[in-house]
Structure 1
Amino acid sequence: MSYSSEEETDISDSELDEYVDRCYEQLKDGSRKVKFSDEVYRCPYCPGKKKLVYALKDLLQHASDVGKGSQNRDIKHKGKHLGLVRYIKDDLAQEDLSSELAGLALEVPTGNGVSELFVWPWMGILANVDAEKSSRLKNDLAERGFDPVRVRLLSTGGYAVVEFKRDWSGFYRAIMFEKEFEVDRRGKKDYCASPHLADELYGWVARDDDYNLKGSLGEYLQKNGDLKTISDLVVDEKRKTGLLIANLSNTIQELRTRVDELESNYCKPPAADIHVASQKDEIQ
């Protein structure tokens, strides 16, 4: 059954999720163009606005605003932009970050103060957490694509710590977690400016200033993590890879030696055959 994204008839709320999925697949297969260069993006669903040019984070803000807009807005228009939000988070943003990480792996920064200090393993911080709703935090974050390993509610301060996977995919999810809160103006800077807006949930990635805090948050981070730069982790990863290769080389050499011994023993006639042959020579 063919599907046209130009249909403008209203759809019910129950059909919205399916519509979002279809719009996302269209963006993913290239039916709708979003990226025009490494820095230029356009919304494929708002051609009447003089084809506004966006940076990626601004396009995400635009799509989020429309997707979360008034209920009076056309459901299909919202669905298209919600599909665009998913496409930006799951495809465009990951692609751009992968390129950045590839560059980091090739050129490791040197010197002091050139890289941010992150809490390792990767951790995110949620502030103004409602204790009664904390049991749902992990599922909520998982549904939004952040793939948390666990969420720990701290006993005081209204904080929760989100733990991500230890690999680069965990770093990517942590950064996207932070970016989404920043786009909604609920990042760390916003929290520091208005920390007492208890009805708003704020989030960011844990860094050295969080690690060095006094109180339950700093104590938890110090107990469960260390401070590392990206360059530290890249160098450590290379060292571990080097050790792994060395260990594999040693194992392979040991196996080859063992195989040579087995082949040598296999080619030798049994001792009993040698004795019989020797007796035959003596008789002759």
Structure 2
Amino acid sequence: MSYSSEDETDISDSELDEYVDRCYEQLKDGIHKVKFSDEVYRCPYCPGKKKLVYLFKDLLQHASDVGKGSQNRDIKHKGKHLGLVRFMKNDLEQDISSEFSGLNIENSQQNGVSELFVWPWMGILANVDVESCSKLKNNLAKRGLDPVRIRPLSSGRYAVVEFKKEWSGFYNAMMFEKDFEVDNHGKKDYHAAPHLADKLYGWVARDDDYNLEGVLGDYLRKNGDLKTLGDLEAEEKRKNGLLIANLNQTIEELRMRLDELESNQCEPRAAIIQNDVVH
């Protein structure tokens, strides 16, 4: 069962329960994606809000708050979130990880255009001691940021932290950035006082880093591309669509092959029966 993702008409309070059922069915049918990894969840109904990704329990709390919110809220908006609550409780397994609970990841936009990130997700470390890179990787791992590797650049000033390509990698990259910002060692702090060479700074690689001249920009351009979150979601949907199409084709080919085998098995048996009748 599926429904249109957008309803044109308003609904009344008396129709809310039915609307919640419809939204729940949409989520079950996969029309809206909620779970992007074991750690990363998103609200399909609030794409432009400040909170971009959630842990399971945080998204459940968000959906519950909106669904039970003020009567002045749009009834459809409440209904969608109540459907999300039901879907999460009935159809998704809870992620109990809470190490970074409560931290917001902002959906940054510049002049209405979604922000461009370097993908695969990369973090930048400035004022790096090359000899300490392996120790840095272990420290980041202990903080739950799960870096794939740290690559010191030939200039001796920067190193690039590589994260997993999945949405969990994006989550960890943003937490990496927040970790440095909390200590006033983020990107803005670095550019305000780059002479503090004994201090380590870190941030997530974006388009301005990608377009830099020099070793850092060269490395990012050679090993990554610029993508918005919307680009990646659209690409993921396209790949999922192709996967389903290929799977359906494989199933159909298998069904035809089985029919052919069954037909071939029946032909000798029919011939034997016919010979028995003749004799």
TM-score surpassing 0.5?
yes
Q: Is the 8 A contact 1:89 1:176 kept in 2?
A: no
Tell whether 2:90 aligns with 1:90: no
Q: CA RMSD in A?
A: 2.7
Determine the C-alpha separation between the residues in 2 that align with 1:274 and 1:89: 72
Alignment of 1:204-219 (within 5 A): 204-219=203-218
**Residue type of the alignment partner of 1:90:** F
Tell me which protein shows more helix as a share of its residues: 1
Alignment of 1:47-86 (within 5 A): none
CA positional deviation for 1:242: 0.6
Determine the C-alpha separation between the residues in 2 that align with 1:177 and 1:90: 11
**Residue type of the alignment partner of 2:170:** F
CA positional deviation for 1:113: 5.0
Q: Is the 8 A contact 1:157 1:216 kept in 2?
A: no
> 2:133 corresponds to which residue?
134
> 2:171 corresponds to which residue?
172
CA positional deviation for 1:241: 0.6
Determine the C-alpha separation between the residues in 2 that align with 1:138 and 1:270: 68
CA positional deviation for 1:260: 1.6
The Cα offsets for residues 172-202 of structure 1, whole Å up to 9 and x where unpaired, read as 0000000110011000000000011111110
Secondary structure of the residue that 1:268 maps to in structure 2?
helix
Secondary structure of the residue that 2:113 maps to in structure 1?
coil
CA positional deviation for 1:261: 1.7
Determine the C-alpha separation between the residues in 2 that align with 1:162 and 1:169: 15
> 2:187 corresponds to which residue?
188
> 1:15 corresponds to which residue?
none
**Structure 1 residue ranges without an equivalent (≥5):** 1-29, 39-86, 102-108
Secondary structure of the residue that 1:262 maps to in structure 2?
helix
CA positional deviation for 1:275: 6.7
Report the CA distance shift for 1:113/1:211 in structure 2 as closer, same or farther (over 3 A). Answer: farther
Determine the C-alpha separation between the residues in 2 that align with 1:212 and 1:113: 20
TM-score computed with the length of structure 2 as normaliser: 0.60
Q: Is the 8 A contact 2:129 2:156 kept in 1?
A: no
TM-score computed with the length of structure 1 as normaliser: 0.59
Determine the C-alpha separation between the residues in 1 that align with 2:102 and 2:188: 25
The Cα offsets for residues 232-269 of structure 1, whole Å up to 9 and x where unpaired, read as 11111111111011000100111111122222233334
> 2:259 corresponds to which residue?
260
Secondary structure of the residue that 2:196 maps to in structure 1?
coil
**Residue type of the alignment partner of 2:174:** I
Secondary structure of the residue that 2:265 maps to in structure 1?
helix
Secondary structure of the residue that 2:114 maps to in structure 1?
coil
Report the CA distance shift for 1:255/1:269 in structure 2 as closer, same or farther (over 3 A). Answer: same
Q: Is the 8 A contact 2:116 2:228 kept in 1?
A: yes
> 2:159 corresponds to which residue?
160
CA positional deviation for 1:272: 6.1
Tell whether 2:231 aligns with 1:236: no
Q: Is the 8 A contact 1:122 1:165 kept in 2?
A: yes
**Structure 2 residue ranges without an equivalent (≥5):** 1-56, 63-96
- Name the % identity: 67
CA positional deviation for 1:114: 1.7
Number of residue pairs matched by the alignment: 185
Q: Is the 8 A contact 1:125 1:206 kept in 2?
A: yes
Determine the C-alpha separation between the residues in 1 that align with 2:98 and 2:266: 64
Secondary structure of the residue that 2:144 maps to in structure 1?
coil
The Cα offsets for residues 60-103 of structure 1, whole Å up to 9 and x where unpaired, read as xxxxxxxxxxxxxxxxxxxxxxxxxxx8643444xx66xx89xx
Secondary structure of the residue that 1:90 maps to in structure 2?
coil
> 2:19 corresponds to which residue?
none
Determine the C-alpha separation between the residues in 1 that align with 2:156 and 2:187: 15
> 1:223 corresponds to which residue?
222
Q: Is the 8 A contact 1:126 1:204 kept in 2?
A: yes
Determine the C-alpha separation between the residues in 2 that align with 1:147 and 1:184: 20
The Cα offsets for residues 4-45 of structure 1, whole Å up to 9 and x where unpaired, read as xxxxxxxxxxxxxxxxxxxxxxxxxx9xxx9xx86xxxxxxx
